[in-house]
Amino acid sequence: MSALDGRAQTVRIALVMVGLPARGKTHMARRVARYLRWLGVRTRVFNVGNYRRQEIGSHQPAAFFDPDNPEGKAARRRMAMRALDDMLEWFASGGEVGLYDATNTTRARRETIAARVRAHGLEIVFVESVCEDERVIESNIRQTKLHMPDYAGVASDAAVADFRARIAHYERAYEPVQEDEGSFVRVIDVGRKLVAHRIQGYLPSRLVYFLMNLHVEPRSIWLTRHGQSTFNVEDRVGGDPPLSPAGRAFAASLAAHVRASGVTPRVWTSTLARTRETAAPLGLPSEEWRALDEIDAGDCDELTYADIRSRMPAEHAARRDNKLTYRYPRGESYLDVIRRLEPVILELERERRPVLVIAHQAVLRALYAYLMDRAPDEVPYLPVPLHTVIELTPITYGCEERRVPLEPGPA
Ligand code: F6P
């Protein structure tokens, strides 16, 4: 299943990363992959560094990366070609977007890759990461590189020195991507500036937009459902009911919890009363998103699950059998929800302050899947209980999760 279902063309694109070490290429590749996978595009990252570590061990000194070291150069080329072979094989078996994560800093290397990729009938777009901000490089080395298996057991100052020597070797051979090499996106200082050259088509354009919004500053994202509504009490779907007494008590507890955390988040709610009522005791400005409204149950709106089962057994069975793609009559499917959440995701990526999202079960399942890189077919079943704050804090290549169940306080 692909997000591009319904669109005539088949998309098969190799996104080839380019850039010196410690320029955030892996971070970018993984974030792009997570985004595309969430949209239902069959996406995979091929990291050449992992091939090197698996095949010749992780403890290679900086001299291994010296462009004048013929053995090192041959070994690196061999690993690069192995990863490329695997990626091409994966495309042949139905892959849609492959991210080829390596430095690819010489024109000769890129030409070899491009020739093979094009010979397989695939599009190629180079994604080059350039960092002019020394602080970004330093923090990238300290936050990610020192934790690589390459430096296990090495004192941090020695590891930094070795990694800087490795970068210097690459710098000597580096040739930035030129306009005559084809389509590329050049990201400078993690989104401060972005150059898009010969970017055409739906998916590459979306990629540019995504990269424009990406940043690497860690900040937390908290997700919670609204407090219990009167419909939750009756097991009724949809509608626009108010909070129950227990739901109002949760809203009070949530406000106390947020105040105690010392964090002042941006607060996002849906347009529905139950999320706005949950946000009210926070006393913070909040923004309403129509895109955060609960899955539209169409003709089943305001029915109980038991009503649906007895009055519309075929609908009940169809949903049970394929909850991801099932669309309520005149309503939505989970896939529809995922697609309409895309602007929310882009705004979440762009935002640098902590965000508290107060929304609904189906919507939060979809957001959680994005943030935690869970497959689309898991989305309809992810547990997102009432009265629980899911606190997500970014770590190197993902998010750390803490679930805080809140007792309803005094109503
Ligand atoms: O039951 C509460 C609710 O938010 C409904 O409004 C919505 O239809 C439902 O959850 C979504 O969960 P599921 O997809 O499991 O029915």
* CATH number of the domain within which 332 lies: 3.40.50.1240
289 and 350 both lie in a single domain: yes
283 and 186 both lie in a single domain: no
pLDDT reported for residue 6:
42
Ligand 1, atom 7, residue with closest C-alpha: 237
Residue 267 lies in a domain: yes
Residue 246 lies in a domain: yes
297 and 181 both lie in a single domain: no
Per the structure, the complete domain to which residue 112 belongs is given by 11-212
192 and 252 both lie in a single domain: no
Backbone dihedral region for residue 24 (phi beyond 0: left; psi -120 to 50: alpha; all else: beta): left
Q: Which residue, 212, 229, 250, sits at the end of a domain?
A: 212
pLDDT, tens digit only, all 411 positions of the chain:
444 444 445 689 999 999 999 999 999 999 999 999 999 999 999 999 999 888 888 778 888 888 888 988 898 899 999 999 999 999 999 999 999 999 999 999 999 999 999 999 999 999 999 998 888 888 888 888 888 888 888 888 888 898 999 999 999 999 999 999 999 999 998 888 999 999 999 899 999 999 998 887 889 999 999 999 999 999 999 999 999 999 999 999 999 999 999 999 999 999 999 999 999 999 999 999 999 999 999 999 999 999 999 999 999 999 999 999 999 999 999 999 999 999 999 999 999 999 999 999 999 999 999 999 999 999 999 999 999 999 999 887 789 999 999 977 544
pLDDT reported for residue 185:
97
What is the rounded CA–CA span in Å between residue 283 and residue 304?
A: 33
Q: Which residue, 212, 247, 270, sits at the end of a domain?
A: 212
**CB proximity list for 205: less than 8 A, separation 6 or greater:** 199
pLDDT reported for residue 10:
67
Ligand 1, atom 1, residue with closest C-alpha: 237
Catalytic residue among 226, 257, 316, 387: 226
Cα of 242 from ligand 1 centre, angstroms: 16
pLDDT reported for residue 57:
81
Number of other CB atoms surrounding residue 248 within 10 Å? 20
20 and 60 both lie in a single domain: yes
Residue 2 lies in a domain: no
272 and 149 both lie in a single domain: no
Mutation test residue for ligand 1: of 243, 361, 382, 384, the one with most atoms within 8 Å of CB: 361
Residue 373 lies in a domain: yes
List ligand 1's pocket residues with C-beta within 6 A: 232, 237-238, 294-295, 297, 360-362, 380
Q: How far is Cα of residue 233 from the mean position of the Cα atoms in its chain?
A: 34
Residue 1 lies in a domain: no
The CATH number of residue 52's host domain is 3.40.50.300
Residue 410 lies in a domain: no
Residue 202 lies in a domain: yes
Structural domain count, the chain: 2
pLDDT reported for residue 279:
98
193 and 241 both lie in a single domain: no
Contact of 295 with 239, CB cutoff 8 Å: no
Q: How far is Cα of residue 408 from the mean position of the Cα atoms in its chain?
A: 32
Q: Which residue, 212, 236, 266, sits at the end of a domain?
A: 212
Cα of 387 from ligand 1 centre, angstroms: 15
394 and 329 both lie in a single domain: yes
Number of other CB atoms surrounding residue 57 within 10 Å? 10
pLDDT reported for residue 9:
55
184 and 300 both lie in a single domain: no
Mutation test residue for ligand 1: of 295, 326, 327, 328, the one with most atoms within 8 Å of CB: 295
Rg (CA), the chain: 24
Amino acid present at 410: P
pLDDT reported for residue 313:
98
**CB proximity list for 272: less than 8 A, separation 6 or greater:** 226, 240, 293, 294, 360
345 and 298 both lie in a single domain: yes
Cα of 173 from ligand 1 centre, angstroms: 56
176 and 299 both lie in a single domain: no
Residue 134 lies in a domain: yes
Q: Does the annotation mark 321 as catalytic?
A: no
274 and 192 both lie in a single domain: no
